[in-house]
Amino acid sequence: MSHPHPELPLPPALPSKGLRIVALGGLGEVGRNMAVLEYEGRLLVIDCGVLFPEDHQPGVDLILPDFEYIKDRLDDIEAIVLTHGHEDHIGAVPYLLRLRRDIPLVGSRLTLAFVEAKLKEHRIRPVLRVVAEDQTERFGPFDCEFVAVNHSIPDALAVAVTTGAGTVLHTGDFKMDQLPLDGRITDLRAFARLGEKGVDLFMVDSTNAEVPGFVTNEVEIGPALDAAFAQAEKRIVVASFSSHVHRVQQVLNAAHAHGRKVALVGRSMVRNMGIASELGYLDVPPGVLVELKQAASLPDDRIVYMSTGSQGEPMAALSRMANGDHKVQVGHGDTVILASSLIPGNENSVFRVINGLTRLGARVVHSGNAKVHVSGHASAGELLYCYNVLKPRNVMPVHGEVRHLVANAALAVRTGVPADRVILAEDGVVVDLVDGKASVVGAVPCGYVFVDGSTVGAVTENELKDRRTLAEEGFVSVFAVVDTATGKVLAGPQILARGMAEDNAVFEEVQPDVVKALEDAIAGGATDTYQLQQVMRRVIGQWVSRRLRRRPMIVPVVVEA
C-alpha cells in the first residue's frame, strides 16, 4: 500500500492524458470532504463540506477545506458535483462560491434544494444543474455518470467520472441497506456494469470499514422508536441531524401512532424539513406538525420536539435544553432520544449533554442503550461486496480518519487488489492516474481554515493555542513605569491574575525580583520597552512555573516616564 510521506515534494507537471486527484479534506478526518480532479488543464470538484470543531478548537464555528490550491485556477473549474446534502459535503459551498459565484453546482433535486436554501442566507444565487441516477452529463473533459446510492439522507448519488485517463468511481457516502425506507437501494447493477467496463480508480467511503458485517436496516429502527414512545410518560425530545429526512419520517410516524403532535426545533431543522416535505421526500401525516409556540399549550404526554444538536454542538437546541437556557425546559419524566451515531471527536460533547439532561431528570435513550439509530455508511461486509463486484484496478479509500482508511485499504487487498495499487493518502497528497496506474507524486499545502464568527481564515493555530492557554492556565498582566535615564522603576510592578485560584497577593513575593531584573536590564543598556517587557515576562513566567506549577498567558506592559 502506498503511504504518503510527511516530506513529500511539490508535484511535477501532470503528464499528458493523466488524471490528477487532490483531496483538500476528508482524508484523516470525518468531515470537510472535498476532492479536486484535474484533466487537460480543467478541474472538477467533488463535494465541498465542513468539519465541526472539537474541544481543543475553542471559539471556532466551522472548519473549511483549504482552497489555496485552486484559488488561482477558479476559472478552470467546470463544476462542483455534490453527492448528497449533508453538511460535511455541502457546508463549505458558500465559501467557495464567494470566490467565484457562477461555478455550476451539480446534484440531485433534494441536495441542490438544501444548498440553494443555504446560499440564500449568504445572498448568493447559484447556477444549478439538477441530475438523477442513470443520467450522464459532460462537464468540459469530464463525462459524469450518476448512480443511486443509499445513505442516511434521500437522493444520494455516486459519480463515475470518465476521461481519457480512465474511469474514477467516487461513492460519496453510502451503504447497502436492502430494505430502505424510500425503496431506493444502492444500484449494484450499475456498479457491476461499470466494473465490466473497467473502473481504474475506486474512491470509496471508509467511515465504517472497521465494523464487521453489514449495517442494520433502517426499518428496524421503527420498532425501537415505537417502544421508546410507548414507555414515555411526559414530553419526548428526539435529536437528529437536521438533514436526516428518514429519521424525521420515522418520528412523525411514531408520533402519529401514539397520538402525539410534533414541533420542529432549530432553524436548520425547520428549513430542511420544509424543503423535504415540499419536494415529496417527507410524508407528513395530517395534523401532526404544530408550531413551537402552539406546542407549549399541549399536554406533556401529547407532544414530541424534533430537535437539532445530536452531536452536542454548544449552540444547538439540545445542548441549550441540557443547560436549561432553551424555551423547551426538560424535566422529570421527560424522554430524550438521541437518534444519531457519534461522530468521532464529539464524544465528550455528547456525553456532557447526556449528563446534563439526566441531571434534569430526563430519561435519555441513545444508540448505546437502544437501537434508535443505524449508521449511514457501509460496513466491512458491504465494502467487500463492492470490491468483488467492481474489481477496480486501483483503490483510494476516502472519507474517514486514518484508522478507517487503513482498514478499508486492508479490505481491498484481501479481495485481490494488488497492495501497490491501494493508495493511502492524506489531505493535500497528490495522486496521478497515468496509464492505468495510480500513484502518489507529491503534496500541496493543505491546512485547516477556521470560520470564527464573520471571519474566515483569520484565526490560526497560534491564536487557538492562545485560547487554550487562557482556558487552561489563566492570564497574568504585569504593568510597570520606568525611567530609563535614571535606571529606576518608578511605579509597579502591578501584577493581576485572572483564571487562577491564587489571590493576587501571592505575587508580592516576586515583585522585588521583577524590579531588580528591570533595573539590571536598564543598567546593561536595554532601553527599548519591548526588551523590558520580555524581561518581565521571563521573570514572572519562571516564578509562576516554579512556585505555582502553571504556565499562564503573560501580558507585560512597560511605560517610560
300-311 pLDDT, tens per residue? Answer: 899 999 988 767
Q: Is 399 annotated as a binding residue?
A: yes
* pLDDT at 1 (0 to 100): 45
The type of residue at 134 is D
Under the phi-then-psi rule, with left for phi > 0, alpha for psi from -120 to 50, and beta for the rest, what region is 121? alpha
Res 110: pLDDT: 95
Of 536, 554, 545, nearest to 497 by C-alpha is 554
Query: Binding site annotation covers 373?
Result: yes
Which residue, among 272, 265, 484, 241, has the nearest Cα to 376 in the 3D structure? 241
The DSSP output letter for 216 is: P
Q: Can you name the residues that pair with 395 across neighbouring β-strands?
A: 202, 422
**Cα separation, 38 vs 44, whole angstroms:** 7
Q: Is 326 annotated as ligand-binding?
A: no
Query: Strands of 289-290's sheet, edge to edge?
Result: 289-290, 261-265, 303-307, 236-239, 335-338, 363-365
Domain boundaries in the chain? 20-213+376-452, 218-365, 462-560
Question: Residue 15 gets which letter from DSSP?
Answer: P
- Is residue 84 part of an annotated ligand binding site? yes
Q: Is 477 annotated as a binding residue?
A: no
> Which amino acid would we find at residue 343?
I
Q: How many angstroms separate the CA atoms of 558 and 263, rounded? A: 58
Write down the CATH superfamily of domain 20-213+376-452: Ribonuclease Z/Hydroxyacylglutathione hydrolase-like (3.60.15.10)
User: Catalytic positions, please?
Assistant: 205, 377
Buried b (16+ CB within 10 A) or exposed e, 476-504: bebbbbbebeeeebeebbebebeebeeee
Beta bridge partners of 554: 476
The candidate with the shortest Cα–Cα distance to 73, out of 92, 96, 93, is 96
CATH number of 462-560: 3.10.20.580
In sequence order, what are the beta bridge partners of 79?
44
Please tell me the predicted confidence (pLDDT) of residue 535. 83
462-560 has the same fold as 218-365: no
Q: Is there a binding annotation on residue 377?
A: yes
Task: Report whether 86 belongs to an annotated binding site.
Answer: yes
Q: Can you read off the three cell numbers belonging to residue 298?
A: 399541549
- The verdict on whether residue 487 carries a ligand-binding annotation is no
287: left (phi over 0), alpha (psi -120 to 50) or beta: left
pLDDT at position 151, please? Answer: 93
Sign, CA torsion 414/418/419/424: negative
87's enclosing H/E stretch is helix 87-90
256 is in an annotated binding site: no
Give dist(CA 7, CA 550) in Å, integer: 35
With a cut of 70, which residues of the chain have pLDDT below it? 1-6, 53-61, 310, 312-315, 341-346, 368, 370-371, 452-473, 501-502
How far apart CA 151 and CA 471 sit, in angstroms, is: 39
Strand partners, 157: 148
Helix residue spans in 427-528 (DSSP H): 461-473, 511-523
User: 59 a known binding residue?
Assistant: yes
Domain 218-365 has CATH 3.40.50.2300: no
The residue type found at 294 is Q
